[in-house]
Structure 1
Amino acid sequence: MTTTCLVTGGAGFIGCALSRTLPDHFDRVVALDNMHPQIHDSAERPADLDERVELVVGDVTSAADWDALLADVRPTAIVHLAAETGTGQSLTEATRHASVNVVGTTEMLDALVRHEVRPDKIVLTSSRAVYGEGAWTDAEGVVTYPGQRSAAMLEAGQWDFPGLTATPFESSRVVPAPTSVYGSTKLAQEHILLAWCLAMQVTPVIYRLQNVYGPGQSLSNPYTGIVSFFAQRAKAGEVIPVYEDGDIIRDFVFIDDVASAVVQGLLHSGANRDAYDIGSGEGTSIMTLARTIAEIYGAPEPQVNGMFRNGDVRSASCDISAAEAALDWHPQVMVGEGVRRLCAWIDERV
């Protein structure tokens, strides 16, 4: 039997990274992408998309585009990457995020039904944003969910929840409670896909990705992430601005490690109701990241500016032990080395 892998959003950052491996495991690999100008500088095929991958320009929210695609492509596996990902942007463009992330998913599933296609497996890349602030503990170790930091808290410079300590995200333990429109749409994606797959006897595999970075990410998209933004500021000899008090915690996971985790799940994982948490397994403060990048370029000392972004969480890291055990996967590139690789890649292009 001919095996075919369809990758939605397949010409993007993660899709291009996957394209280097997927053709080794499938007879045919097809990338569906709308080539949105926020991500792509031009409508031309990305140079980083492996030549063995077929590119189909189409929109996941369009039933007509799905019908045209499935008239020719009958996927045995799907990697669903297509999404709008701007946490702050989702507050002012909520309809766009819901349309792509939620309706785009339901359009895909409806199209599969119309064309009587039942892939063996659908892999969804969800996000750590579904957790919101996640679970915190008090001095006695009692777990509590403080919820979203209010605008009043942030305006007063109250960055933390007094008396509480953040804990790493872990899908079997931490209840999702999104603090952004983006996070809410990604959680809806998870629920929709699980319900459909279990009813249709399709294997669902869900990932909650931490902050993905590395060579290949867009350098023009303002919502692509702070690692490339910091690097470009430092390279220009400018001061890196650091929000809040600099002690925001994030888990930065290198693109190659994300791609290898997705491939492992695509090839080897059974259905997982508890999503795989994919990160480096280490939390890094934003100030530490900024200083690392400033040191690489000999840029001035980063400066805390006290600014904030509504919907951002204070601390986001994860426990990757379940993913490591189930997928026989381990991150290979920690943030110090990964940042240097990204900066070297930027230096070749800017």
Structure 2
Amino acid sequence: MPSRMRHEIGEQPEALRRTIGSLLPRIGELEKLAAGARQVLFVARGSSDNAAVYGRYLVESRTGRLASLAAPSVATTYRSRIDLDGVLAVAISQSGRTEEIVETMAWARDCGARTVAVTNGHGSPLAEAADVALLTEAGEELAVPATKTYTTQLAALAVLGAGLGADVDTADLARVPDEIERLIEATEAAEELPLIVAELARVQGVVVSARGLAFGTALELALKLKEACYLHAMGLSYADLLHGPIAVVDERTPAIVLGAAGSPVLAGTAALAARVTEAGARAYGIGGGPALAGSSSLALPGPALPEWTAPLGLIVPGQLVVERLARALGINPDVPRGLNKVTQTGV
């Protein structure tokens, strides 16, 4: 029987249609809130933190604003005061009930920031406390590994980028649900999918790498491999990987390399895959078109989307690999050991 995780992967196109349709009309509201903001501060943990990495790259590469990731302990444990005048604080939480994230957003507001919440938790403390709440329309997510709540967060952050003046065409965002629907079918029909799963089932560790707007996808896929398959998965920018950790990639530790077609970092991504295979290791490509596929041992298709929206699709083949790999390893991907849907990290 299909797992709940696989069922929710399949729900992503419709969840994205609802979310994008709901949030695109709010670009003007975001423009007004962000007027004069010189910096964006993202507040998140777990999968939401990986979504924030996408948000950071989108804001810095397309809006001309500085963006950074918050360290919540500065607010909740050190209780430091920072001048956040002119800062837009964006708190991301699937449930909207993670106390650390709610408290950190309140701290940011008290320090002078304007606040935005990105959450699937309608009526949650995070949504109620923010100046603007971007509510995703993923519906209830029952599997512990985030799938549709993660991609709808990316959609909300894409709308946020447009509201901050990103040089993008929002029509690209409207194409995402249909493209993900196609990508799910294409990935499951790919001969390479069972081969990649079979090979990964024989290893204990894997490196997942990308750069630029796709980097958050690499981090998210590594997290899913750890959560649902119990692999020692390391998510790294390929620039950082080449600075030393490349030594861990060998015949027992393959690499998964992700890229967006048309990205300025694609040539480097393909070169990394080639270096991995030349060293005698296996490289599995996701996306990147012929350039990455030609440098990889095996490759899965990516979305036919421009770089700024490609991360919404790039994670999907990875989700399908994780779900199949977990079941191949005899693991129930819906309820990984030691995890709950809402994680309270304390202060």
User: So what's the TM-score if we normalise by structure 1?
Assistant: 0.32
More helix by proportion, 1 or 2? 2
